[in-house]
């Protein structure tokens, strides 16, 4: 393994480490603590990631790439999906050049995992319950590579046993991983970049309120869970809008949905256009593993949120403060009406929603957490 290391000075506000205060002299500051890192060499990490068009890549890998140097980390990325056997073998054999190999979501065969783990420190990052059947799938998975299949479960369990570190995106994923790696598993929530300050949009009239849902085509399945409540609300307030941004419009529902085709360019404008964000889920093993990412998108834009009281949603929504958690159709309808009838409540909850996002899920906060975990782990393992 390459020789890497760093010196990290923690200087509390109003005090200093022994001797001079290098953070104060350099003018570097971060919240109530100052960090100054003097690098002998940056940590070298090879990130083997999933396809670039997947949200998992965009929000758990790509958005962090421009900033790793600030944290003393030299990140090299390679798309692992679609690689041939010889290409995977070359990557595994070459992993000794790196302090860590960061495997993002992909479940490699045990042979490659073993090769990497013997040559470097293996870090596994996952944000879905790959051990569970997807909520919208009836019966057993038809492909061996699908979540919940025997092959996926076997590969995941073997991988978790051999990793030096696991970054898991939700409490459910943490609890699963700790069955196999109790000391090296850490909760690292999915992050979202801070949104530039924009004028707060709050509809002043009940009949102009827009509820929004964003997601991929498969997840349109979850909209059926709120169909009774949403259609009842539309019957009482005919001009209330339900807007969906996805790859196709929902089908077979009583609620009238305004469809907006998803594109990276149109996403911000759509998020700004809605008044309230929603995330309904089934209470099953797959959904409990989700990382509440839809909610983070709404929260970053200062929107109050309504979500099923399932998994990571419970942490993302401060019930009655930043939005509402709902466990039944009646609770969804009550939440809808509470926000439709009060612009002041929408405004106040939107502010709390954004505040909670900035404190917990904002990109810089999460990246600082990951960098700290990596450097601490590296220094501890260097000493053994």
Tell me: the pLDDT tens digits for 48-95?
Answer: 999 999 999 999 999 999 999 999 999 999 999 999 999 999 999 999
Sorted by sequence, the CB contacts under 8 Å of residue 312 that are 6+ apart come out as 169, 170, 171, 172, 189, 290, 291, 292
Structure tokens at 17: 């480490």
**Among 190, 133, 130, residue whose Cα is nearest residue 160:** 130
Sorted by where each begins, the domain ranges of the chain are: 42-191+363-382, 206-360
**Distance in angstroms (rounded) separating the CA atoms of residues 326 and 279:** 10
DSSP 344: H
**Distance in angstroms (rounded) separating the CA atoms of residues 21 and 15:** 8
CB 358 within 8 A of CB 308: no
Tell me: the pLDDT tens digits for 257-274?
Answer: 999 999 989 999 999 999
Tell me: the pLDDT tens digits for 155-186?
Answer: 999 999 999 999 999 999 999 999 999 999 99
**Concatenated DSSP letters of 34-103:** EEEEEEEEPEEEEEEE--TTSHHHHHHTGGGGGGGGGGTEEEEEEE-TT--HHHHHHHHHGGGGSSEEEE
**Distance in angstroms (rounded) separating the CA atoms of residues 374 and 367:** 11
Tell me: the pLDDT tens digits for 294-329?
Answer: 999 999 999 999 999 999 999 999 999 999 999 999
Superfamily of domain 42-191+363-382: Glycogen Phosphorylase B; (3.40.50.2000)
Measured CA distances, 207 to 204, 214, 235 (Å): 9, 21, 12
Residue 35 pLDDT > 60? no
CATH architecture of 206-360: 3-Layer(aba) Sandwich (3.40)
Say if 42-191+363-382 and 206-360 have the same CATH topology.
yes
Residue 39 pLDDT > 60? no
Helix axes 293-300, 343-360, angle to 10 degrees: 110
Tell me: the pLDDT tens digits for 83-132?
Answer: 999 999 999 999 999 999 999 999 999 999 999 999 999 999 999 999 99
**Among 195, 193, 123, residue whose Cα is nearest residue 367:** 193
For residue 256, the SS3 value is coil
């Amino acid at each position: 393994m390459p020789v890497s290391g760093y010196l990290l000075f923690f200087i509390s506000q109003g005090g200093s480490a022994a001797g001079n205060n290098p953070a104060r002299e350099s003018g570097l500051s971060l919240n109530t603590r100052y960090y100054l890192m003097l690098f002998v060499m940056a940590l070298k990490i090879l990130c083997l990631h999933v396809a670039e068009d997947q949200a998992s890549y965009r929000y758990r890998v790509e958005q962090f790439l421009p900033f790793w140097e600030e944290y003393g980390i030299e990140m090299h990325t390679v798309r692992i999906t679609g690689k041939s056997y010889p290409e995977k073998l070359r990557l595994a054999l070459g992993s000794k050049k790196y302090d860590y190999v960061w495997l993002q979501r992909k479940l490699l065969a045990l042979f490659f995992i073993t090769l990497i783990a013997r040559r470097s420190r293996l870090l596994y990052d996952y944000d879905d319950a790959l051990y569970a059947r997807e909520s919208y799938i009836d019966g057993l998975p038809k492909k061996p590579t699908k979540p919940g299949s025997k092959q996926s479960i076997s590969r995941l369990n073997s991988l978790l046993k051999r990793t030096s570190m696991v970054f898991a995106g939700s409490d459910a994923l943490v609890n699963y991983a700790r069955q196999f790696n109790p000391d090296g598993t850490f909760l690292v929530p999915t992050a979202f970049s801070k949104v530039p300050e924009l004028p707060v949009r709050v509809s002043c009239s009940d009949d102009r309120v827009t509820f929004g849902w964003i997601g991929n085509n498969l997840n349109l399945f979850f909209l059926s869970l709120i169909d009774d409540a949403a259609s009842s609300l539309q019957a009482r307030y005919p001009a209330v809008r339900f807007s969906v941004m996805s790859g196709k419009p929902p089908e077979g529902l009583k609620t009238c949905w305004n469809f907006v085709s998803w594109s990276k360019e149109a996403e911000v404008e759509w998020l700004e256009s809605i008044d309230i964000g929603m995330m309904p889920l089934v209470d099953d093993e797959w959904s409990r593993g989700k990382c509440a990412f839809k909610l983070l998108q709404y929260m970053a834009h200062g929107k109050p949120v309504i979500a099923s009281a399932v998994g990571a949603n419970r942490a993302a929504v401060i019930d009655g403060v930043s939005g509402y958690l709902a466990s039944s159709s009646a609770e969804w309808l009550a939440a809808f009406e509470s926000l439709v009838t009060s612009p002041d409540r929408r405004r106040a909850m939107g502010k709390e929603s954004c505040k909670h996002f900035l404190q917990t899920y904002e990109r810089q906060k999460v990246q600082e957490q990951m960098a700290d975990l990596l450097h601490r782990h590296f220094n501890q393992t260097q000493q053994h």
